[in-house]
Amino acid sequence: MIASRYLQWNARHSSKQQHHQHSNEENFGQKVSPEDQATADVEMPEVETKEAVLETKIAELKQTTKEEVATETLEEETVDNTMPLEKTTENPEDVCLWGVPLLDTKGDERTNVILLKFLRAKDFKVDEACTMLVNTVKWRQSFLATTIREKKLQSKLDECFYIQGKDRDGHPVCYNIWGAFHDNPDLFEKMLGNESKMKNNFLRWRVQLLEKGIKELEFTPGGTSAILQVNDLKNIPLLKKEMRDAVHGVINLLKDNYPELVVKNVFLNPPWYFSALYNLINPFITPRMKSKIFLARPGQIFNSIAPEDVLVQYGGFARSNDAEFTGSESSVKDLNINAGEEKSIEIALEQAGSTAVWDLSVIGWDVSYRAEFAPTATESHHTIPEKTKKLLSVEQTIRGTFNCQEPGNLLLFINNNSASKKEKRVLYRFKVKVLDAVVAEH
């Protein structure tokens, strides 16, 4: 049964989720994992009891929703997600959400996954979940959310709000670089200049981005059914009322029409006054949404997303339109360096004309770095591809290349001589190319 499969997956996923969340990330909301909270408000001591309760709640929600939509005329997407289809009172089973049939499942295992999201969002109160579901379908009709994904909305927000990569559990990752509104006053005025612009420009564009991310979801038991959001708050103009209204608008959109579709909200670079402003938006956030808010210190984003999938500006290795490292080449190794210690990464260049390519990042930075080539021939002199330089905390991931004229070893030295006296973690990968062929990769 679907509920049984969901519970088995939920147990495995909760354990994995807890491992990531307790690996240094700071939960800014409730100290509870999102998946553990799924059935927390319904006492279910045994798996069999849980399955029975879930099946009962789902059946009740289907029936209540069916009775509700029988008195409504709704429009939503068809199962194949093509053209809107009017739902009449004679055929309420046709109501769909994100291409998934909600009432007449016809054997579609995705239906229960969607309905569970509404039940969890309303603490398994069937009447409230039904009201939320029907209102969501109505809102999508009035907002034209079904077809907005294919619209060409004029905006420069694509450069700072976008879907890229997956997290460690396969969830699509949505990056939100809020500082763009500080750096580009014209963009701020166009998207947030007044309430009408905020609703008709920014929120419509934000819904489109959500719908693009949802297209990548499976909605199957054990499959991906939520998005992970990374929010970079560096330079966010939160002290401006228009910015706060936009944040509230996004929160309300998610809360009212996209229940349980964000698995985690990771916040980076919060301003010093973030705690005070968090208290202002706290009343607008449900307890379940709070449980998914995490403030990540440097390097902690890797608890959720593998380094090779994290953007370079956050210490990761992902670059736009970069084909240098692909497949198995993209995997990242790490190296711990104690305070006052120097270590090196050795890259063997066994043939003249070989080219080494490497990426290197240091969590916390504040170290010294240099590259040195040592030829195999004893009579040859060492060369210095990169002189010693201090890598500060604002440094992005380093991409280096070196072409050798004779065989030898390229050494990358990292010296942890910082005043902090803390151990540093180095992340790196490299490969060696000879006549366009990769002969070594790490």
User: For the residues of 209-228, what is the DSSP string, one character each?
Assistant: HHHHHHTT---STTS---EE
Residue 33 pLDDT > 90: no
CA torsion through residues 18, 39, 94, 1, sign = positive
Q: DSSP secondary-structure letter at 350?
A: -
What is the maximal distance between C-alpha atoms in the chain? 90
pLDDT at position 388 over 50: yes
* Across 13-22, 259-268, 274-283, 292-301, least confident range: 13-22
User: pLDDT: is 208 or 14 the higher one?
Assistant: 208
Give SS3 for 371.
Answer: strand
Per the CB < 8 A criterion, the answer to whether 257 and 249 are in contact is no
Cβ proximity of 258 and 210 under 8 Å: yes
CATH of the domain at 343: 2.60.120.680
**pLDDT at residue 72, as a whole number:** 62
**Domain span including residue 407:** 314-441
Q: Edge-to-edge strands of the sheet including 26-27?
A: 26-27, 293-295, 262-268, 227-232, 172-177, 161-166
Same domain as 357, residue 234: no
Per-residue model confidence (pLDDT) at position 34: 41
Of the two residues 297 and 410, the one the predictor is more confident about is: 410
Total count of domains within the chain: 3
Q: What φ, ψ does residue 246 adopt, rounded to 5°?
A: -65, -40
- Residue 47, φ and ψ in degrees, nearest 5: -60, -40
233 and 102 in a single domain? The answer is: no
| Whether residue 360 sits in one domain with residue 247 | no
In terms of domains, do 160 and 171 share one?
A: yes
Residues 164-215: tens digit of each pLDDT: 999 999 999 999 999 999 999 999 999 999 999 999 899 999 999 999 999 9
Q: Indicate the helix (H) or strand (E) that contains 44.
A: none
Average pLDDT of the residues in 288-307: 89
Residues 178 and 65 reside in one and the same domain? no
Distance in angstroms (rounded) separating the CA atoms of residues 140 and 146: 6
Six-digit token string for 24: 């240094």
User: 5-14, 47-56, 315-324, 372-381 — which is least confidently predicted?
Assistant: 5-14
User: How confident is the model at residue 287, as a pLDDT?
Assistant: 82
Evaluate whether residue 414 is within a structural domain: yes
Per-residue pLDDT band for 273 (boundaries 50, 70, 90) equals confident
Share of the chain above pLDDT 70, in %: 80
Count of helices and strands (H, E) across the chain? 11, 19
Question: 164 with 281, same domain?
Answer: yes
Task: Choose among 254, 306, 311, 312: nearest CA to 285.
Answer: 254
Residue 7: pLDDT over 60:
no
Range 37-66 average pLDDT = 65
Strand pairing class (355-363; 96-97): unpaired
Q: Residue 382: what pLDDT?
A: 81
| Measured distance CA(292)–CA(307) in Å, rounded | 21
Q: Could you tell me if 138 and 155 lie in one domain?
A: no
Contact 129, 283 (CB under 8 A): no
Who has greater pLDDT, 73 or 56?
56
- Does 162 have pLDDT greater than 60? yes
**pLDDT, average across residues 318-338:** 89
Grade residue 317 by pLDDT with cuts at 50, 70 and 90.
very high
Give the chain's end-to-end CA distance (angstroms, integer): 44
Same domain, 61 and 196: no
- Residues linked to residue 259 through DSSP beta bridges, in sequence order: none
Kindly tell me the sign of the dihedral angle through the C-alpha atoms of 423, 364, 33, 59: negative
Given 244, 278, 305, the domain boundary residue is 305
Domain co-membership, 49 together with 87? yes
Tell me the C-alpha to C-alpha distance, in Å, between residue 409 and each of 270, 371, 372, 374, 435: 42, 11, 8, 5, 18
Instruction: Work out the average pLDDT over 2-21.
Output: 46
Distance of CA 233 to the CA centre of its chain: 15
